[in-house]
Homo-oligomer: A and B are copies of this chain.
């Protein structure tokens, strides 16, 4: 369905621990807030077999994975999807994950990014340098599968664990390096993204504020010798669309009743570090309460019509957060929603959207039925995939499946 509707990709978040800031781990478990969480990389093979163009963005951690095993994993996935795999690079932030992987304390934030840089250097060597393009000839006449002189042991020292390394276990895949996604909002995160990322998930509820991030990222890209077109900016958005604005609003209001308040408070605690358990459900959060909540209320009030008179109790805040996430919203008929999206493109300078869903089935069927015809009419809906690989479909610059010039994965950086 997503494939037929020309979606670019599916994105899968991942965590390696459990949310335990709010009320211990009870609320996360009872509400199934990212726990249990299966390893989705093991399901991509089946999803790839059922689709032809849809890409798969997978989250993997540079703090808890091994670079040799990770290079093999993504090379395998890139082969079996024919180039339709992306890696959302994270450094992992949950204390419970650190404990599960044998650390007393998490690695400190900026040091995690330093480790991530070196991790990527090793992964690039394995994926881009260890096998030359014409290493595999699979020639029955000479009975030669791989030409040994075209496969090179990589040597790396400096990484605190990995001192030396053989070639990647897997021959070159369509993209070699998976399409690289990142969502760093901190200074270290942005610097990292400007070096490595090819698409960036942007935070923010107000287009003009998000534009500041986009502009600063473009400046960083130029500093790094990368073209602006080598990075795609993606805004999160929550959409409820129906035939009329009223029907869409009613659908949204209806969804609120299904919100799991405890689970949402648990997720919010994990993201923000703010424990809401001290407040009653009826606590009025307008103009008081935790700063993280204040800023959400302010943007909801400023950007969503009809919310000015609303009483922002803790209950209502959690309900809205549960349904729409901490994302900009577009609720209304196709024109209303398309206008909001257009405003994000125009004012924030984003290239596309990561659409979160409220129900499945439900959200995506609604999008295809109601919104797609309007986007098509406006000429902004992708009608044809630009290529077979995730990189071609996201960058749409006709430059093929491999990393672009100036990207550190390019082997010109390691001659």
Q: A interface vs B, CB < 8 Å? A: 16-18, 24-27, 29-32, 35-39, 41-49, 64-66, 68-69, 72-73, 75-77, 79-80, 96-97, 99-102, 104, 136, 138, 143-148, 151, 159, 161-167, 169-171, 260
26 residue pairs of the A-B complex, CB under 8 angstroms, read A16-B68, A18-B166, A18-B169, A27-B148, A29-B146, A29-B148, A30-B146, A30-B147, A31-B143, A32-B138, A36-B169, A37-B170, A38-B170, A39-B72, A39-B76, A39-B170, A43-B80, A64-B66, A64-B69, A96-B166, A99-B165, A100-B164, A100-B166, A102-B159, A102-B161, A102-B165
Chain B residues, CB < 8 A from A77: 42
Residues A164 and B99 in contact, CB atoms below 8 Å apart: yes
How many whole Å from A105's CB to the nearest CB in chain B?
12
CB within 8 Å for A38 and B102 given contacts A30-B147, A45-B46: no
How many whole Å from A301's CB to the nearest CB in chain B?
28
Chain B residues, CB < 8 A from A169: 16, 18, 35-38
Residues B102 and A162 in contact, CB atoms below 8 Å apart: yes
Give bound CA distance, A159 to B102, whole Å.
9
How many whole Å from A107's CB to the nearest CB in chain B?
15
CB within 8 Å for A76 and B32 given contacts A37-B170, A100-B68, A163-B104: no
Residues A25 and B101 in contact, CB atoms below 8 Å apart: no
Give bound CA distance, A379 to B73, whole Å.
43
Chain B residues, CB < 8 A from A25: 148, 151
CB within 8 Å for A170 and B49 given contacts A29-B147, A64-B66, A104-B163: no
Q: What are the nearest 3 A-B pairs in CB distance?
A: A32-B145, A26-B148, A45-B46
CB within 8 Å for A76 and B35 given contacts A30-B145, A165-B99: no
Contacts A38-B75, A45-B47, A102-B164 given; 11 further ones with Cβ under 8 A?
Answer: A25-B148, A26-B148, A30-B143, A35-B146, A38-B76, A39-B170, A43-B45, A46-B48, A46-B49, A68-B101, A102-B163
